[in-house]
């Protein structure tokens, strides 16, 4: 029987990505599946705090082991921005606008180093456990590719010639920040 796990999101892309990484032994559910539509106020000051806020909310509402995921793009030349504000940097979850703002702020800057970070908080009756994954790369000066989501069209991971948005999902999912965090979680638990 598949083990059920609740991800603190309504984002279908995130659900599909996590389901793909976890494989067939898990059944990934989202807030939508449980008809939970309260706004979870992410007022933490770090990825860790925001991930825990989401995971704790889900566990307390359902009693099902839950994962809160907080992810973002960290740009060296922008002093770590957009960071925890990645999804709402220019406009709430409007990534074309968010990307445009980052590209505008990066105009004329040669240092294009950036990384994606994901912090997962696994929350059950024992409380929170955290797992952090990162992937390093560089930002382009324009969008390339249509796969993926978020800032994927401007991010080229180290050792690659194409953006996350140009990669097939199975290729991205082998190296992504979220994959790295999930791998650490699975290693810790043997399997959740």
Per-residue pLDDT of the chain (192 residues; tens, 9 = 90+): 678 899 999 888 888 888 888 888 889 999 999 999 888 888 999 999 999 999 999 999 999 999 999 999 999 999 999 999 998 999 877 889 999 999 999 999 999 999 999 999 999 999 999 999 999 999 999 999 988 789 999 999 999 999 999 999 889 989 999 999 999 998 887 755
Domain that holds residue 97: 3-189
What CATH number is attached to the domain comprising 95? 3.90.950.10
Say what the pTM is. Answer: 0.88
Sequence-separated contacts (24+) of 20-24 with Cβ below 8 Å: 20/169, 20/170, 20/173, 21/173, 21/176, 21/178, 21/179, 21/182, 22/182, 22/186
The one catalytic residue in 43, 70, 76, 111 is 70
Q: Known catalytic residue: 43?
A: no
């Amino acid at each position: 029987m598949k083990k059920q796990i609740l991800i603190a999101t309504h984002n279908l892309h995130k659900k599909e990505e996590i389901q793909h990484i976890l494989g067939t032994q898990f059944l990934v559910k989202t807030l939508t599946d449980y008809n939970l539509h309260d706004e979870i106020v992410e007022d933490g000051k770090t990825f860790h705090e925001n991930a825990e806020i989401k995971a704790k909310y889900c566990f307390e509402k359902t009693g099902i082991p839950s994962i809160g995921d907080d992810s973002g793009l960290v740009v060296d030349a922008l002093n770590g921005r957009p960071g925890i504000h990645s999804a709402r940097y220019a406009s709430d979850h409007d990534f074309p606008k968010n990307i445009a703002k980052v590209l505008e702020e990066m105009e004329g800057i040669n240092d294009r180093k950036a990384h994606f970070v994901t912090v997962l908080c696994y929350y059950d009756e024992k409380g929170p456990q955290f797992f952090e994954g990162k992937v390093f790369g560089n930002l382009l000066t324009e969008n390339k590719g249509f796969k993926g989501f978020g800032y994927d069209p401007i991010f080229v991971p180290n050792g690659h010639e194409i953006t996350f948005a140009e990669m097939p999902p199975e290729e991205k999912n082998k190296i992504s920040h979220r994959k790295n965090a999930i791998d650490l979680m699975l290693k810790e638990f043997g399997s959740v």
